[in-house]
Amino acid sequence: MIAIKNMSVECGDFRLSEVSLTIAAGNYGVLMGRTGSGKTTIVECVLGLRRISSGTILLDNHNVTHLNPAMRDIGYVPQDRALFSRMTVRDHLAFALMIRRVSASETDGRVRELAASLGIVHLLDRTPHGLSGGEQQRVALGRALSFRPRVLCLDEPLSALDSETRQQMCELLADISRKEQVTTLHVTHNLDEAQRLADCLFTVVDGKIKPVEPAGGRN
Amino acid sequence: MSDRSSASDHENRGRTQTTRHVTLSNTVFMISLGIIGGTYLLLIAAMLTADTWYMAEKSVKAAYAANSWQVLLFENPIAEALADRKIRYSIWLSLTSCTLSAVFSLLVAVPIGYLLSRHQFPGKRLLDAVLDIPIVLPPLVVGLSLLILFQYPPFAWIARDVVYQLPAVVLAQFSVACAFAVRTMKSTFDHINPRSEQVAVTLGCSRAQAFGWIVLPDASRGMMTAFTLAWARSLGEFGPLLIFAGATRMKTEVLSTSVFLELNVGNIEAAVAVSLIMILAAVTVLVITRRWGLRDIAL
């Protein structure tokens, strides 16, 4: 469960005030809004990458407002994927588990499982250089899911993909979030993408979050 | 009908004239760039050629006078310089002190460059400006400032073991070279996407782990450039060395001071020979930087 309560944040001249949002456990929440409306800022606050002025952030009823990003247990896929240029795809999928000192056999098993789910088994020994946009997105998603986070934050993950790949990725996202039973906060400005994936849909308008009734949702 | 045709002719003529004018303007612009750039390139090539020609001329004359090609190979000014114990010592000291000062520069430049690139803190602009002081200060002033600094405690307590001793050579070289390394490292970190580091932190890394596993490997080319640049700056350092470390033969004499000392005693051949050795070292550093470091060094 993700719950943001009366959160205010200031960065330079930009300000979000009294922002509130709740996504139930296991649900797929989509946050929409125009470019510059503050969607990424909200995600960064949830991740702990940006300090908030006031308010509370709860993840599965735990107050994480002042918790270090490393302790929040959130998988993150940024807009530019930010893959680690010197690591292979296998290293990406194993990275968070290596940090957590998970045993080699368990790590190997999780890497194989994720690679199979994401269809990137054949890419395991390659570095990000030369991978297509869709492949890079799958790697970034696998890296974020590898440590079975309680929350997944996706910041415009499909914005740089062509329509066919975007459609495939939408299906993959819906499938994998259900399979992993992870509460998801997905940021996008694409209405079609939002309608396809959302269990609950929100828009950011004038620094405030408003809930919107999703037309379809995941099926 | 004829009015329309004459209007069209006029339009075509105007377009042709504009095209000609743009082509001419572009050609003049490119030729101007070529002349300005080419002149400077010619100056660099001419300086290096003059040094080499001077040495070759002397060697060939000596070989001709002795009527032996062996003179050309083994008794040319470079070979003679290399045979000189004092020059060999200055080469050894230059290689050692430049490497040490480049290592120290890198050790300081990486954290400072990272701090300046990634973090906002009070006094950041002041720190940024202060770090440029060794670059803009006249070299002699750097040496003099170091000399004065070691008059006062706590530096004065170790002045006897530093000033005009071997550590002074490294410290004088480091004082200037480090500023260049810091600029290179800041520019390197500016070009590395901070998002990768943020992702690493959300994956469970501490700041130090994210720095070590994600940022440093991406900065390796910049580190190589910073190291070689600091090394090259140290090799060319002269003013601060002369004042702070002195120019004592077989003690604090490095290659740049060798050139000065040889010129002082009127041994121009030896001075040029040592200069050629320095050029060779500088070119080697340049090749390493271009091959394994950053191609664009933004200072």
Tens digit of pLDDT for each residue in A8-64? 888 877 888 888 889 998 899 999 988 888 888 999 999 999 989 999 999 988 899
pLDDT one-digit tens code per residue, B177-192: 999 999 999 999 999 9
More confident residue, B202 or B67: B202
pLDDT category of residue B203 using cuts at 50, 70 and 90: very high
Cβ of B204 within 8 Å of Cβ of A80? The answer is no
For residue A75, the distance in angstroms to the closest alpha carbon of chain B comes to 7
What's the mean pLDDT when you consider all of chain B?
87
Does residue A185 have a pLDDT over 90? yes
Instruction: Find residues 105-164 of chain A whose CB sits inside 8 Å of chain B.
Output: 143-144, 147
* Distance in angstroms (rounded) separating the CA atoms of residues A80 and B194: 11
pLDDT at B148: 93
Mutate to test the interface with A, among B199, B201, B211 (most CBs of A within 10 A): B199
Nearest to B199 among A76, A85, A147 (CB): A76
Cβ of A100 within 8 Å of Cβ of B204? The answer is yes
Highest mean pLDDT among A75-84, B6-15, B81-90: A75-84
DSSP secondary structure string for all residues of B176-200? HHHHHHHHHHHHHHHHS-HHHHHHH
Indicate left, alpha or beta for A48 from its phi (over 0: left) and psi (-120 to 50: alpha): left
More confident residue, A215 or A141: A141
Residues of A in Cβ contact (< 8 Å) with B195: 78, 80, 82
CB-CB contact of A148 with A109 (8 Å): no
Interface of B with A (CB under 8 A): 193, 195-196, 198-206, 209, 213-214, 217-218
| Predicted model pTM | 0.80
Nearest to A82 among B199, B206, B213 (CB): B199
Does residue B227 have a pLDDT over 80? yes
Residues of A in Cβ contact (< 8 Å) with B204: 70, 96, 99-100, 147
In this structure, how many other beta carbons lie within 10 angstroms of the beta carbon of residue B71? 18
**Strand order, beta sheet including A54-59:** A14-23, A2-11, A54-59, A62-63
Does residue B12 have a pLDDT over 80? no
Q: Which of A111-125, B5-19, B176-190 is the least confident region?
A: B5-19
Residues of B in Cβ contact (< 8 Å) with A70: 201-206
**Strand order, beta sheet including A74-77:** A74-77, A151-155, A183-188, A28-33, A200-205, A208-212
Does residue B245 have a pLDDT over 60? yes
In this structure, how many other beta carbons lie within 10 angstroms of the beta carbon of residue B49? 12
Domain B76-292 has CATH 1.10.3720.10: yes
pLDDT category of residue A126 using cuts at 50, 70 and 90: very high
* Distance in angstroms (rounded) separating the CA atoms of residues B258 and B281: 15
Please name the residue of chain A whose CA is at the shortest distance from the CA of residue B220: A86
Does residue B257 have a pLDDT over 70? yes
pLDDT at A209: 86
Nearest to A70 among B204, B213, B217 (CB): B204
**pLDDT > 70: percent of chain B:** 93
pLDDT category of residue A216 using cuts at 50, 70 and 90: low
Q: What is the topology classification, in CATH, of domain A2-212?
A: Rossmann fold (3.40.50)
pLDDT at A218: 52
> What CA–CA distances, in Å, run from B131 to A21, A151, B12, B136, B184?
46, 43, 60, 10, 12
Cβ of B201 within 8 Å of Cβ of A83? The answer is no
Q: Which tokens go with B49?
A: 């050629």
Nearest to A147 among B196, B201, B203 (CB): B203
Cβ of A70 within 8 Å of Cβ of B199? The answer is no
Compute, in degrees rounded to 10, the torsion defined by CA atoms B231, B233, B236, B237: -110
* Distance in angstroms (rounded) separating the CA atoms of residues A135 and A128: 9
Q: Which of A134-143, B204-213, B217-226, B282-291 is the least confident region?
A: B282-291
* Distance in angstroms (rounded) separating the CA atoms of residues B222 and A96: 27
Cβ of B204 within 8 Å of Cβ of A78? The answer is no
> If you average pLDDT over residues B126-146, what whole number do you get?
89
Please name the residue of chain B whose CA is at the shortest distance from the CA of residue A67: B202
* Distance in angstroms (rounded) separating the CA atoms of residues A209 and A200: 12
pLDDT one-digit tens code per residue, A51-64: 899 999 999 888 99
Domain parsing of chain B, residue ranges? 1-68, 76-292
Please name the residue of chain A whose CA is at the shortest distance from the CA of residue B198: A49
